[in-house]
Chain A
Amino acid sequence: QSALTQPRSVSGSPGQSVTISCTGTSSNVGGYDYVSWYQQLPGKAPKLMIFDVSERPSGVPDRFSGSKSGNTASLTISGLRAEDEADYYCSSYAGTYTYYVFGSGTRVTVL
């Protein structure tokens, strides 16, 4: 049972936008601006796509953007491309006792 709740799957056609939600509590997502998002291609290690809610690491396309409102964070992929088809996980810092939690993961399918 993951601490953060994500939709199991989302889909879109090439060029469209999709948004993945990540719902937590005031002990994690809502309590800190330390939400990050990871892309996992089949058989590969996860890759950091967004950190600190909305910051993009160098090399990540600006088609990927993040935001947060209350206890829910979101990842939006604009101008969807075939290579964006992957699993996406959110995560959040959760304080010094629990420390770090992940979402349940969302499969993005490009139709």
Chain B
Amino acid sequence: QLQLQESGPGLVNTSATLSLTCTVSGGSIGSSSYYWAWIRQPPGKGLEYIGSISNSGSTYDNPSLKSRLIISLHTSKNQFSLKLFGVTAADTAVYYCASLEGSGTYLGGWGQGTMVTVSS
């Protein structure tokens, strides 16, 4: 049973870089059975797909965030990470990491989520 856990700062300054890490246990991040995804949810609002990465390092970014986004694999630590540049208050949200399964088409496992507030 896969378990995912997000970690990172809960407060980020406006225009700075938001950096989060997801630690995976119960499975290998190098497995071809999964892609690894980031999802976010602003307070009181719906879910938004941020992007994902395959075990080979190919990335699939939300076009609206692509210019500010880097998702990376860290196979030696069984982790993957998110960097979002030039954040504003609109980036305030609960950020979830998740496993994309099947043909990389459904989110079978989720972390508990971490709240990130962007403020000056």
Contacts and interface: CB of A to CB of B under 8 A. Distances in A.
Give the interface size class of chain B: 20 to 34
B49 A52 contact: no
A89 B47 contact: yes
Tell me whether chain B's interface is mostly helix, strand or loop, or mixed. strand
Given A45-B113, A46-B110, A99-B60, A105 B47 contact: yes
Nearest to A45: B110
B46 A99 contact: no
B52 A48 contact: no
Contact of A104 (B46, B96, B103): B46
B47 A102 contact: yes
Given A97-B63, A100-B52, 15 more contacts: A36-B106, A38-B107, A45-B96, A45-B113, A48-B106, A51-B101, A52-B105, A93-B105, A99-B49, A99-B51, A100-B49, A100-B100, A102-B46, A102-B47, A102-B48
Sort A-B residue pairs by CB-CB distance and give the 4 closest, nearest first: A51-B106, A34-B105, A36-B106, A99-B60
15 contacts: A2-B46, A34-B102, A36-B106, A46-B39, A46-B47, A48-B108, A51-B105, A52-B105, A89-B47, A91-B106, A97-B63, A98-B63, A99-B51, A102-B47, A102-B48
